Amino acid sequence: MPTKSIAFANQKGGVGKTTTVISLAACLAEMGKRVLVIDFDPQANCTSGLGQEKLEGHSVYDALLNGQPLTPLVKPTPYPNLDLVPSEEDLAAAEVDVARVDNFLQRFQTAVAPVRTAGMYDFIFVDCPPSLGILTMNALVGVDRILIPLQCEYYALEGLTVILRLVEHLRSSGANPALEVEGILMTMFDSRTNLSHQVVEEVRKHFQEKVYRAIIPRTVRLSEAPSYGQPITHYDKHSAGATAYKSLAREFLKRQTAEAQAAAAAAETAPAATEPAPAAPPAAPA
């Protein structure tokens, strides 16, 4: 399977982007998939959530701005199969600095290309900042897919419409014609409130199978895990949060398999359609 890159994006902060990147990446790594997480947020929550230090000069900043390769920035984590390109505060300057350089929207696409073609990873996850600024746009131009974590709250659908409009724009403008939605994940679900149930129902009604069956509950353990610098699957592997992210990981991989099978079936039928028509039989002798 070629490397698949996915940006985890939503212009709202606090909806579970970083938690989902860390937790899903950790689950997939535990299942034997090779995952590279790229922290694209100057707040560096993904970096600290994986127990890594923020170090000056060790973010994607140089790769975006000076065209330096991404590969030397990749750091191993304590978790097998899981690597990280960390972030730090300096990345905030990229929002301003990258906007001034040529091809500013394609900067990440160029930087990540060698990592993709090396085939070292099954998945590259990009943890986007909570805005639709230059950094998020760069991520969205450079990836195959977007995964949208959506908090179970009243304005969820409005926020979703905004980000989907941007996806459509990136496609139609030619910035990333192949960009697709990988999935929509409902987060911070509180089973005791009617609102949570209503929001899930409403989002499912509009986006059907794009919405993962797995739903992430709001739990204290999930909110504690980052302060210990551990993914939930290590911090408390039997917790409801860990269980939810593990079932998301299984569903996520099932979708990959289904997609690969559909692609293989399409490839099998495609050449037949373009093959030249069989030559006409020789005319019968008169």
Query: Does 219 participate in binding ligand ADP (rule CB under 6 A)?
Result: yes
Residue 226 binding: pick among ligand ADP, Mg ion, none (C-beta 5-8 Å cut-off by kind): ligand ADP
Compare residues 108 and 245 and give the one whose CB is closer to ligand ADP.
245
Query: Does 163 participate in binding ligand ADP (rule CB under 6 A)?
Result: no
Compare residues 17 and 33 and give the one whose CB is closer to Mg ion.
17
Return the sign of the alpha-carbon dihedral for residues 50, 29, 121, 105. negative
- Helical axes 134-142 vs 156-172, angle rounded to 10°: 60
Number of residues that bind ligand ADP (CB under 6 A): 18
Choice from 3, 5, 19, 176 touching ligand ADP (CB under 6 A)? 19
d(CA 241, CA 270): 43
Query: Does 77 participate in binding ligand ADP (rule CB under 6 A)?
Result: no
Query: Does 47 participate in binding ligand ADP (rule CB under 6 A)?
Result: no
- Cα torsion for 55, 18, 180, 27, to the nearest 10°? 100
Site for ligand ADP in 226-255 (CB under 6 A): 226, 241
Q: Which stretch binds ligand ADP (CB under 6 A): 9-17, 31-39, 58-66, 165-173?
A: 9-17
Residue 232 binding: pick among ligand ADP, Mg ion, none (C-beta 5-8 Å cut-off by kind): none
Q: Under a CB-based contact definition with an 8 Å cutoff, are residues 141 and 166 in contact? A: no
Compare residues 104 and 222 and give the one whose CB is closer to ligand ADP.
222
The minimum distance between CB 4 and ligand ADP, in angstroms, equals: 21
* Positions in the binding site for Mg ion (CB under 5 A): 17-18, 45
The minimum distance between CB 59 and Mg ion, in angstroms, equals: 14
- Which residues, in sequence order, are bridge partners of residue 187? 151
Compare residues 17 and 116 and give the one whose CB is closer to ligand ADP.
17
Query: Does 193 participate in binding ligand ADP (rule CB under 6 A)?
Result: no
Query: Does 54 participate in binding ligand ADP (rule CB under 6 A)?
Result: no
> Per-residue b/e over 194-232, b at no fewer than 16 CB within 10 Å?
eebeebbeebeeebeeebbebbbbbbeebeebbeebbbb
d(CA 24, CA 6): 12
Closest residue (Cβ) to Mg ion?
A: 18
Residue whose tokens read 């980052």: 226
* H-helix segments, the chain: 17-30, 45-49, 61-65, 94-97, 107-118, 134-142, 156-172, 194-207, 220-224, 232-235, 240-274
Query: Contact residues for ligand ADP (CB under 6 A)?
Result: 13-19, 45, 130, 187-188, 216, 218-219, 222-223, 226, 241
